[in-house]
Every structure is written in C-alpha cells, then in structure tokens.
Amino acid sequence: MSVTNNSEYAKAGVDVEAGYESVERIAPHIRSTHRPGVLGGFGSFGALFEPDLSGMKRPVAVSGTDGVGTKLKIAFLMDKHDTVGIDCVAMCVNDIVCAGAEPMFFLDYLAMGKNFPARTESIVAGVAEGCRQAGCALIGGETAEHPDMMPADEYDIAGFSVGFVDHEDIIDGSSVIPGDVIIGLASTGLHSNGFSLVRKTLAGELNNLDSYVQELGCTLGEELLRPTRIYVKPLLNAIRLFGKEIKGICNITGGGYYENVPRMLHEGVRAILDTSAIPHKPIFSILAKKGSIPEHDMYNTFNMGIGAMAAVSESKTDAVIAALKNSGETPVLIGRCSKGEKGVDLIW
C-alpha cells in the first residue's frame, strides 16, 4: 500500500496525500480482523501469516478469488459503499468452505479512478466486516488509482483468500450416494450474482432506488445492496460436529442451481430438489414478473433464496438441521440424491 511522494505524480492524476490518508483510515479496520497467525502489522511488501496446522496430518491449502461484479453499479448510484466489501469476502470464502477448509487470511485489491479516502475507508470497513464474519484475517491488499482508465467516481474490488483442510477431511462429493439428503441454507437475497440481468430488468427503476417497495419491506436500493451471507462458521461447525456425514457442499453463485449443484456430486448421482421448500424472497418474484424471465433462466442465474447446500447422510438430517439453526442459519430440507446421470432436477 506504499506510494511515492512526487508532485509530478499528483499532476498526472494520482493523489499521494489521499493515499496516505486512506492507509491511516483503514488501519484500525484491518487490525480488527487479526487472528492468531498474523505476523507483524500490514504495509510490508508481502503479507505474513503463520498458520497453526499442528492438528493436521497432511495440510492442504484451498484458495479462492473473486470480485463483486456489476452489483457495484448499484453502490455507485446510491453512493453507499459499506456493504460491497462483505460481498467480496463472501464470494471467496464461501467457495473455500465448500471443500471443508477454514479460510485463514484474505487480501483485497481496490482499483479506482480517484482515491476518496472516506469512500475507501467505507469499502475496506466492509471487507473487514466480511473477514470478521468468516473468522479470517485481512492481512494486506492494494489500493490503486487509475486516472484516465476509470471514471473518478467508480472503482472495482476483488479479493483472494486461503484456507486449510487436512487431506483426509477434504469434502469433494465423492462419498455422496443415492438416498443422501440435501439441506439448503437461506440466502439474504440476490447476493452478488446476476446483476447484469437485474440492472437490465429494473432499468426503469434504477433512478428511484430510494423508493420504498411494499413487497420488499424496504427500499429497492436496500434490497439490491443487501450483502451476501457468509456461511463459513455455521458450515465449519457442522463439519466439526458430523465429520464425514457432511459429504458435499456447494455455493449457489453464478450459474444458479443448474451449474453449481452438480459440482458437489459425482458421476451416477443426481440431485432432486423441491422448489416448494425454498424460502420465498420477493425480489425474485419481482424480477421474474418484471422481466418475463422463464423459470429455468431464474434458477440458472440466481440463488432463488438458497445460498448454499450440503449433501448429508439421511440419518443425520435432523441433527444437522438443528446444528445449523443453533448457528443462526435458516436451513431447510430441500431435496435428496438419487441414482442417475450427474446433474440436477427441479420439481415444482
């Protein structure tokens, strides 16, 4: 996060002093995420982390990287930037936990047309909140000004996280068998996928994001910026309690059900999902009606109310659901696995 104090650099469009101020503003947010393993502070050329892997026979690193996508356009329109950092963390760590791994540290990359320190602080504060929710440390990152490449009032954010799991405990869906049940975890709403379609469908409403929508119980802008739920702690708790009875986990991100559910299965196993069990989220009904979007396309784009799923031994159904509820989740029995071609069928 270092910058060079050079007046000619400032004339070229890079505000050095704003960079210094941003670092001072974000420092306490970064420190608030630190956990055992963090070495030193931040601001070094390389971020240092020493994981405690003493309980693992064969540690395996699991990494994930992602961004927030065009959901950022909503943040720009609303000039509200304190939730997109949570989304950025969620998109990475929710992938990592699908392998049964515990995310341990996170780095972000924030590129902007112009550095406004208060806005930068708001964005990074969201990243720090996401890291606290996931239990991982924000140990470094980069804030870059890109004058002439990006509009001054726009930015992009991406992140990278690393977790660890013992090789013998990797969750890869290879043990899923016909008869296993599928438990879904409720989403907070759209999360961070499909926003190109959202913006196209709601183009006429994007100038009225502060308008209250009765069906939603909030303004349209509040609904669209609702941050992605982070499932790391509840799922890790279930894994610790039930071990290999948790056989597969999938994160419902881009590609919806049709692309993501098969990723926790193997050849010869098919998922049968009951859509009537999915918690109703009005935003999806609004989008489908407004855009005349076919059901297949809705389930192939959005999470539709379920942000993650787990394939679990049938005998542990009630116990796993109870554990997830105790962790603050809203789990539902959404389907089961059957013999057949690898894939997913939705029943209505």
Q: Which fold has domain 7-169?
A: 60s Ribosomal Protein L30; Chain: A; (3.30.1330)
Report which secondary-structure segment, H or E, holds 286. Answer: helix 282-291
**Structure confidence at residue 7 (pLDDT):** 63
Count of CB atoms situated within 10 Å of the CB of 135 = 17
* Tokens representing residue 110 in the block: 């924030």
Taking 70 as the threshold, does the pLDDT of residue 325 lie above it? yes
Extents of the domains making up the chain: 7-169, 181-347
Q: Which fold has domain 181-347?
A: Phosphoribosyl-aminoimidazole Synthetase; Chain A, domain 2 (3.90.650)
Average pLDDT over every residue of 280-290: 97
* Tokens representing residue 267 in the block: 């050849």
pTM metric for this prediction: 0.94
Average pLDDT over every residue of 14-37: 90
Q: Which of 232, 231, 234 is nearest to 324 (CA)?
A: 234
User: What is the tens place of the pLDDT at every residue in 117-167?
Assistant: 999 999 999 999 999 999 999 999 999 999 989 999 999 999 999 999 999
Residue 6: pLDDT band (50, 70, 90) is low
User: What is the tens place of the pLDDT at every residue in 235-276?
Assistant: 999 999 999 999 999 999 999 999 999 999 999 999 999 999
Contact present, 130 and 230 (Cβ < 8 Å): yes
Taking 60 as the threshold, does the pLDDT of residue 1 lie above it? no
User: What is the tens place of the pLDDT at every residue in 201-228?
Assistant: 999 999 999 999 999 999 999 999 999 9
